[in-house]
Structure 1
Amino acid sequence: MAAQAQDHSRVEVSVAPQPLRTALLDFGLQAGVNIDVSGAERCGPSRGVRGRLSLDAALSRLTLGTHCVASRVGVGAWRIVRLASPAPVVTRPVPAAPAALPTMLDEVVVTAARTDNLLLSRAPYGLSSLDGVMLERAGATDLSDVAARVSGLTVTNLGPGRDKVFIRGMADGPVAGQAQSLVGLYLDDVRLTYDAPDPALRLADIERVEVLRGPQGALYGAGSMGGVVQVVTRAPDLGGVYGRATIESALTSGGASSDAVELMINAPVLSDRLAVRLVGYDETVGGYVDDLALGLQNSGGMHRQGLRAAALWSVSPAWTLRAGFLAQTLDIDDSQYATLGGDARYARRRSLREPSRNDFDGVWGSVNGDLGWARLRASSSVQSHGLDARYDATPAAAMFGLAGTAALDQSDDLSASVHEIRLNGDRGARLSWSVGLFFSEYTHNRTVAVSDGQGGTAVLIQHRRDHVDEAALFGDAVYRLADHVKLTVGARLFRIGVEHSSETEGALERFAGDEALVDIAPRLVLEYDQGPFVFYALATEGYRGPGFNAGTLGDGGQQPARKVRSDEMVAGELGARFRLLNGRLRGRAAVFVANWSDIQSDRFDARGLPFTANLGDGRNSGIEGEMEWRLGGWTLDGHAVVNDPELTRPDPAFALGSDTRLPAVADFSVQAGLVHEARLARATVRSELRLGYVGPTDIALSPTSVGASAGYLTSRLGVNAEIGRWGVRASIDNLFDRSDDTFAFGNPFYASGDISTPQRPVTARLALTARF
């Protein structure tokens, strides 16, 4: 919304009683002012306002009785603030925004950088944040939708519960195995992945999603070499009882239909002291691949069910406790790749179905408080993750002594506990500091079995167990060198211990061993914050611990080797943020370079069995940018990244032939979106067109197994209307019905060049939301 009106002018307005967020949007359009409504989700309903009033008086009446107020942040600009914060910890005040138009994204306080008062608009990092309400209006439900709205984030397309996530072109291969994830995925205080694929949690009732780029070893420890994606859920609200229900249906051209139900309920238990929030969903996504050999139509369907519960207890004005529980189950009836091409873009011939399952559950708790001399945050989480997947291994049947069909079944049982305590404080106006302790334990039990897939006895069963513990002492200091210049120095002293045991039934392949890594991960940031610009330079490091391979070793010193060396990434970045034209134009740009040594990558041996290889050393450099321009009810945004990942020193024990690419994401990608918000009768209507292009990608798994994606176009058109307590959303995905091969890998037992993972055919969606 444009903010052109003067603060003391009188305007004629007519806003009906409705939820405060939609009432403010209505008022902003009528009065021509800018209001940051990102905090209005937790406010009570508005009684409306009618008549010719000053802006201050009209806003006062709109917010009367909602437990919220409109706080002026500039000429013609306000921000909505709750009177009773759900987390009333005494913290250092957030700096006031400049006298410019605030936006939902720039003015949010981000937490992925492990600070409590950092505005995104002043963040000296490659950090982006997407508002949860915006994602809800657009129908975004997973990280693939997030990747279409920020630069440098890549999600593979193996299928829900099997995907990997990469940032800034740093990829270790498209399949998930024993190597720890390159990107740390977090839901509030819960780490979602270690060496498992993305659990594909539905983005339901989300406050925001933050993407922090570059190695984050000093802040997050092992497994955040590429960056961090943090999903922040909406906290329980002490202010009132309310809820939201959504039903959705979708039709896919040539595929099965889809549907989803989502419910959120917020309820105070003790007035102004204790509240709970429940979120549940049940979703079915229809398949669209036909298997002509097995006589299957529309295979690859998914059923996702989830429940999330959270409680918030305000112990005192300075202390709060939060606790939560999460459980989700994903059932996928088959994989979603195709093989026939031509006129049969969504068809294949296989000997066996390839179902998979992904079960995730966890509990967590945290305490926040003010000690007077410092602010304390302590958190603990415990989680378990179960994975089951089948591959059609028929082409390798003879290698296992089978005639006819063969199946590889892989079962993973993962458990983890993570504990952290952190103190933040200030020494005068120039120095702020933080220090903390971290400890985690992680256990991964894996069983791989090969059989005929028809119920016969397994001809190979391999068991392995890996136990990893990490302990760390970390801290940083931020010193104001001058009025506009800050220096941040931080480090993490850590120890990673790995214990491994494995055996293959009926063979002499047994091994037990342990390994440890002790090191320091530093971080250095220099920033210059002046007026509409923030310039910064940073250097940081990420790491992953050592490991082991089970089963048969390579001949003649070739991989797989028994021990897997730890890898390390050292990166530098120069960047800037800007807010110009009275806040209507804003964005960020950065150039980056990263050196990666002893790259760990999950691969397959000659029989198709998984192992982890050290590929050698690599490097990536690139440039990225994000921009948003607002004019009246129109918003245009664009995001792009160009990078050059390469293998600079291949490991001679695992040569990739003439291929010198890192295994690998596209060298470039670009996305753009055009949004229009308007008032139509009693409805607030938001229309969006989004286009994106992901460039060509080579997927090198071995000298004889190389796949490629020639690049693909993504598209979405959507309309969202809010009328009082009701909302309706309609959208079309893949507008041009493209079947381009996406970035994925289908099956290690079949030639990669014969496999494609096409985009989902054109799909129309319709959703209805009711707030109560």
Structure 2
Amino acid sequence: MKINPITCAVLAALAVNYAYADTTTTPPAPATQPAAATQPANASNAATLGIVTVTAQHTAEDMQDVPITLQAFTGNTLQQLNIVSFDDLIKYLPNVTFAANGPGQGNIYMRGLSTGFLGNQSSATIAPFPNVAVYLDDQSMQFPARNLDVYMVDMERVEVLEGPQGTLFGGGAEAGAIRYITNKPNLEKVSGSAEASTSVTDGGAPNNSANAMINLPIIPGTFAVRGVIYNEHDGGYIDNVPSTYTRQPTDGGGAMAPYVAAGATPVANNYSVAQNNWNPVDTQGARLSGLWKINDDWNFLIAESYQDLDAKGQSSTYPIGIDGQTLGTNQITSFVPAWNNDHSANSAWTLNGQIGDLSLVYTGGYTTRHVSEQQDYTGYSRSAGGMYYQCTGTSAGLSSAGKPICYSPVGYWNDTVASTHQSHELRLSTPEDYRFRVIGGLYYEDFNIDDHMRFDYKTIPSCTPENLASALAGGYPCVANAQSSPGVNLADNTAFGENAERGYKQEAAFASMSYDIIPDVLTATAGTRYYHYSEWETGTEFYTEGNMVNVPNGTYVGDDTVMNYHQSYHGFKSRANLMWHITPDMMVYYTFSQGFRPGGFNRTTSGVAKLDGEAQYQKPINYAPDTLTNNEIGFKTTFFDDRLLLNGSFYDMRWDNVQMQFFNPLVLGNTTFAVNGPNYKVDGGELQFQAKLTDGLSLIGAGSLNHAKQTNSPCLINNIPGSAGYNTCIIETGAVGDVSSFANPFGTVGSVPAFSPRSQYNMRLRYDWTFNGGFKAFAQAGFNRTGSMYNQPATYPSGAGVTDITTVELRYLQAGYTTVDASVGVTKDNWDVSLYGTNLTNNHASVFTSSAQFIESEVPIRPRVLGLKVGFKF
């Protein structure tokens, strides 16, 4: 598709907007009814900024009266900005970063509170729980390293709550929370909408999307249903280029040299899977909700949501290909079919009512999620660990018998995950107009994950009857299939993996009290939450060993480690704030808040960090929760009759006993493990503004500035009684005659944490006007800037210039980047049409650089997109 130069010029006006761009929302709904947005189609023509209503404190209130740093995007704003995914949303979120391996495969961080991200293999089993909570209405959607990518269509609003929310939202909201709030059925009005778009990606395949909504009062004033369906196809833009894989004498630290010298190293190629635009993504889903007004005091809402995400290929690129060749922008050399299929369903119900003067809310939900993912792991074959499972005939391979020979270097991993998440919450609250107000509740959740992970890089032939007979007759050795327990025979090429179940049950009680010391002027609030977690991990970790050489497939040789771990913990997390309305339009506040996230388990407790053959460190079975304490002052103001809004906050946060993960096969063993480590301190500030320059012209902006650093430097202590150096810091590792220093993996005092850019900011301009015949038009313009950041803590080895990769924890500097978006459009009666463009400067940047696949990989932002969108409403 060729784009007319005039169209490109028009698209040079940018579409970026933000929390306050939607100038009008519905006033707070009565406590007995779910809030529903009924905004005018072109609210931004209003002469003032208007009110944005949120429920960040489990009560409907003007966001200018909420004493925390808060951003809210109403449904109208989301449509104006063409936001449907978190990748779209994050451009407008200063103080939020996202380590992403692709759709539905990432971790969200707020205010730089991160210790790095290792990638997705085994993440359902080994990754710590996230410290930013994700909610769909009142249902928690959290998941280790795999945030559910909720498709944002027919949304009432999205709320982004910064800082600890542990009192009201629990253990997943240590650093903050993101709340997706859907539109609810309207009891009185038949309405509907339909929208379709088509677009082109620079250097990639076309995109298209469509969605439709219908609202039907089945019994007007008593019962209504609302349904929405959507389908989006994002064309691929990453090319999997043809490549060979040639083993080098330097592979495996030189262990490959005898195989190369013997001519026993076959050359592999990826010709069967090489293709252009190999990373398309299809997202389909539906949501159906019903609202029953039982009487004037009670109503009941039930909703069913389903989403199917099918991401083909990989979302990462390689600067250097698998055979050492320099690749172009948005290219990769992958050797296996790759995909990520993510299916989720959520059933939710909410009962609202009045008991005397008290408002009661009971809400519950049940979420299921099934993920199947396969990704290339051929880079691992250049390491000593990888070639061990692919070669025989020397001490470097799995068997030293026979002549040297290597088999295919092509490897991959396959992960199949199923999870269930059940939750129930009961809240009672006093009337919002009382001088002394109380909200309290009980909470219960049951979260279960079932993970079947396979690392399939063993290419030595398995011991079928024919292969075994040949091996025993003096032929090349064979290796029996791994087993996870007696009678469970795995695939021929599976070398390592786990069958694990993991989860927790949580019971909690919370209460928050507010008192107007001076009504409408000075308010004090205090609250706390008691929590009790019962956490577990069970299953087996299995692997291939030398005693599986030349034995029949199906022979169980005890090659698995049984996991049967349990722990529980409890405590309180609290908050308090003081809010002073100096004038009706000027509020200042102080907030103290605490947060935490659950602990977890490691799969094995083997000894590592060996010195002269003797282990110095025993990996722990479990690690404890970490905690966050926040002290924040801020102001929220409007001026000039609500034509200028200026909000700001300054905070000091202390993150203690922080969970960290290690994976360094040459020193710390061949499986990832987590421990509690250092403390971090974050001092920062955020500023948000919006100005109504004229009735049709708005200027919006936001930015953050953070100074994040490590405040202590614990060491990895020799914890094996009786060993030399017991109870002292480990400073050396290695074999006799080959001892080397051991760098402290926890980092150093003053170093910068991962995914913590110094600054982030954005600014945007929007103009609305009308012209002949009742046409309404708009144009939007702006930019977003994200500063540079590292992907790992400071003491992790640098990845700059490294081609012989032996760890998944190399530290890379992710360069800062700027994106520019744009849209122009016209509305007439029930119809609207718009042209839009994203990343108009076609900037190339990585949002997640990693060595997680034993090769340097980058997850790029999407190239320039130019599109057309048409919508209809009634």
Q: Which amino acid aligns with 1:111?
A: T
Corresponding position of 1:359: 343
Q: Which string of whole-angstrom CA distances, capped at 9 and with x for unpartnered residues, describes residues 627-648 of structure 1?
A: 0011111111111011122222
Corresponding position of 2:277: 298
CA contact (8 A) 2:344 2:370 kept: yes
Deviation at 1:306, TM superposition (A): 0.7
Give the distance between the partners of 1:426 and 1:592, measured in 2 at CA: 31
Alignment match of 1:581 (pick from 619, 640, 645): 640
Do the aligned partners of residues 128 and 102 (structure 1) sit closer, same or farther apart at CA in structure 2, a change above 3 Å counting? farther
- Matched length: 683
Deviation at 1:430, TM superposition (A): 2.2
Give the distance between the partners of 2:73 and 2:836, measured in 1 at CA: 19
Give the distance between the partners of 2:192 and 2:518, measured in 1 at CA: 48
Corresponding position of 1:15: none
Give the distance between the partners of 2:378 and 2:677, measured in 1 at CA: 28
Corresponding position of 1:757: 859
CA contact (8 A) 2:847 2:861 kept: no
CA contact (8 A) 1:621 1:644 kept: yes
Corresponding position of 1:26: none
Q: Which amino acid aligns with 1:698?
A: Y
Give the distance between the partners of 1:103 and 1:420, measured in 2 at CA: 40
CA contact (8 A) 1:546 1:563 kept: yes
Corresponding position of 1:767: 869
Give the distance between the partners of 2:371 and 2:154, measured in 1 at CA: 25
Deviation at 1:105, TM superposition (A): 7.1
Q: Which amino acid aligns with 1:689?
A: A
Do the aligned partners of residues 173 and 357 (structure 1) sit closer, same or farther apart at CA in structure 2, a change above 3 Å counting? farther
Alignment match of 2:116 (pick from 159, 167, 173): 173
Give the distance between the partners of 1:140 and 1:561, measured in 2 at CA: 43
CA contact (8 A) 2:24 2:52 kept: no
Give the distance between the partners of 1:191 and 1:516, measured in 2 at CA: 21
Give the distance between the partners of 2:821 and 2:100, measured in 1 at CA: 17
CA contact (8 A) 1:89 1:317 kept: no
Q: Which string of whole-angstrom CA distances, capped at 9 and with x for unpartnered residues, describes residues 247-289 of structure 1?
A: 1111011101111111111111112100011111111101111
Q: Which string of whole-angstrom CA distances, capped at 9 and with x for unpartnered residues, describes residues 182-219 of structure 1?
A: 11111112211232522212100011111111011111
- Mapping for residues 252-271 of structure 1, pairs under 5 Å: 252-271=201-220
Q: Which amino acid aligns with 2:709?
A: E
Deviation at 1:411, TM superposition (A): 2.1
CA contact (8 A) 1:205 1:264 kept: yes
CA contact (8 A) 2:810 2:851 kept: no
Do the aligned partners of residues 721 and 415 (structure 1) sit closer, same or farther apart at CA in structure 2, a change above 3 Å counting? same
CA contact (8 A) 1:544 1:566 kept: yes
User: Looking at both structures, which has the greater relative contact order when contacts are Cα pairs under 8 Å and sequence separation is at least 6?
Assistant: 2
1:507 aligns with 2:456: no
Which of 1 and 2 has greater Rg?
A: 2
Give the distance between the partners of 1:615 and 1:496, measured in 2 at CA: 21
Deviation at 1:139, TM superposition (A): 1.0
Deviation at 1:663, TM superposition (A): 2.0
Do the aligned partners of residues 608 and 588 (structure 1) sit closer, same or farther apart at CA in structure 2, a change above 3 Å counting? farther
Corresponding position of 2:473: none
Corresponding position of 2:594: 541
Q: Which amino acid aligns with 2:567?
A: E
Corresponding position of 1:111: 55
1:241 aligns with 2:190: yes
1:216 aligns with 2:165: yes
Q: Which amino acid aligns with 1:189?
A: D
Give the distance between the partners of 2:816 and 2:153, measured in 1 at CA: 30
Do the aligned partners of residues 428 and 269 (structure 1) sit closer, same or farther apart at CA in structure 2, a change above 3 Å counting? closer
**RMSD value, Cα:** 2.6
Q: Which amino acid aligns with 1:354?
A: A
- Mapping for residues 64-463 of structure 1, pairs under 5 Å: 89=33, 107-116=51-60, 118-174=61-117, 175=119, 177=123, 178-292=127-241, 293=243, 294=270, 295-340=274-319, 344-397=328-381, 399=385, 401-402=389-390, 403=407, 404-426=409-431, 429-452=434-457, 456-463=492-499
1:612 aligns with 2:674: yes
CA contact (8 A) 2:24 2:49 kept: no
Corresponding position of 1:570: 629
Q: Which amino acid aligns with 1:541?
A: Q
CA contact (8 A) 1:622 1:644 kept: yes
- Mapping for residues 463-502 of structure 1, pairs under 5 Å: 463-483=499-519, 484-502=521-539
CA contact (8 A) 2:363 2:424 kept: yes
Q: Which amino acid aligns with 1:744?
A: F
Deviation at 1:130, TM superposition (A): 1.2
Deviation at 1:698, TM superposition (A): 0.6
- Mapping for residues 34-45 of structure 1, pairs under 5 Å: 37-39=24-26
Do the aligned partners of residues 767 and 428 (structure 1) sit closer, same or farther apart at CA in structure 2, a change above 3 Å counting? closer
Of 639-648 and 534-543, deviating more is 639-648
Give the distance between the partners of 1:348 and 1:767, measured in 2 at CA: 32
Do the aligned partners of residues 347 and 104 (structure 1) sit closer, same or farther apart at CA in structure 2, a change above 3 Å counting? farther
CA contact (8 A) 1:517 1:546 kept: no
Alignment match of 1:634 (pick from 673, 688, 697): 697
Q: Which string of whole-angstrom CA distances, capped at 9 and with x for unpartnered residues, describes residues 109-168 of structure 1?
A: 21122223x211222111121121121122111223222223322233422111221222
Give the distance between the partners of 2:443 and 2:601, measured in 1 at CA: 24
Give the distance between the partners of 1:162 and 1:684, measured in 2 at CA: 40
Alignment match of 1:744 (pick from 840, 848, 856): 848
Q: Which string of whole-angstrom CA distances, capped at 9 and with x for unpartnered residues, describes residues 385-416 of structure 1?
A: 22222232223245251341111222221111
Corresponding position of 2:813: 708
1:691 aligns with 2:678: no
Unaligned regions of 5+ residues in structure 2, if any?
A: 1-20, 36-44, 244-269, 321-325, 391-406, 460-490, 543-557, 609-614, 717-743, 798-808
Q: Per the alignment, in what secondary structure is the counterpart of residue 219 of structure 1?
A: helix
CA contact (8 A) 2:697 2:765 kept: yes
CA contact (8 A) 1:737 1:761 kept: yes
CA contact (8 A) 1:720 1:728 kept: yes
Give the distance between the partners of 1:227 and 1:501, measured in 2 at CA: 30
Deviation at 1:297, TM superposition (A): 0.6
CA contact (8 A) 1:392 1:747 kept: no
Deviation at 1:650, TM superposition (A): 3.7
1:594 aligns with 2:653: yes
Give the distance between the partners of 2:432 and 2:699, measured in 1 at CA: 42
Do the aligned partners of residues 554 and 339 (structure 1) sit closer, same or farther apart at CA in structure 2, a change above 3 Å counting? farther
Do the aligned partners of residues 525 and 102 (structure 1) sit closer, same or farther apart at CA in structure 2, a change above 3 Å counting? farther
TM-score, normalised relative to structure 1: 0.84
Do the aligned partners of residues 470 and 230 (structure 1) sit closer, same or farther apart at CA in structure 2, a change above 3 Å counting? same
Q: Which amino acid aligns with 2:530?
A: L
Alignment match of 2:745 (pick from 640, 655, 675): 655
Give the distance between the partners of 2:819 and 2:314, measured in 1 at CA: 21
Do the aligned partners of residues 603 and 367 (structure 1) sit closer, same or farther apart at CA in structure 2, a change above 3 Å counting? farther
Deviation at 1:479, TM superposition (A): 0.9
Q: Per the alignment, in what secondary structure is the counterpart of residue 812 of structure 2?
A: strand
Corresponding position of 1:44: none
Do the aligned partners of residues 678 and 474 (structure 1) sit closer, same or farther apart at CA in structure 2, a change above 3 Å counting? same
Unaligned regions of 5+ residues in structure 1, if any?
A: 1-33, 40-80, 92-100
Corresponding position of 1:625: 687
Do the aligned partners of residues 90 and 225 (structure 1) sit closer, same or farther apart at CA in structure 2, a change above 3 Å counting? closer
Q: Which amino acid aligns with 2:308?
A: T
Q: Which amino acid aligns with 2:838?
A: D
Of 601-610 and 293-302, deviating more is 601-610
Q: Which amino acid aligns with 1:200?
A: D
TM-score, normalised relative to structure 2: 0.74
Q: Which string of whole-angstrom CA distances, capped at 9 and with x for unpartnered residues, describes residues 399-444 of structure 1?
A: 2513411112222211110100000015984200011101111111
1:678 aligns with 2:769: yes
Deviation at 1:461, TM superposition (A): 2.9
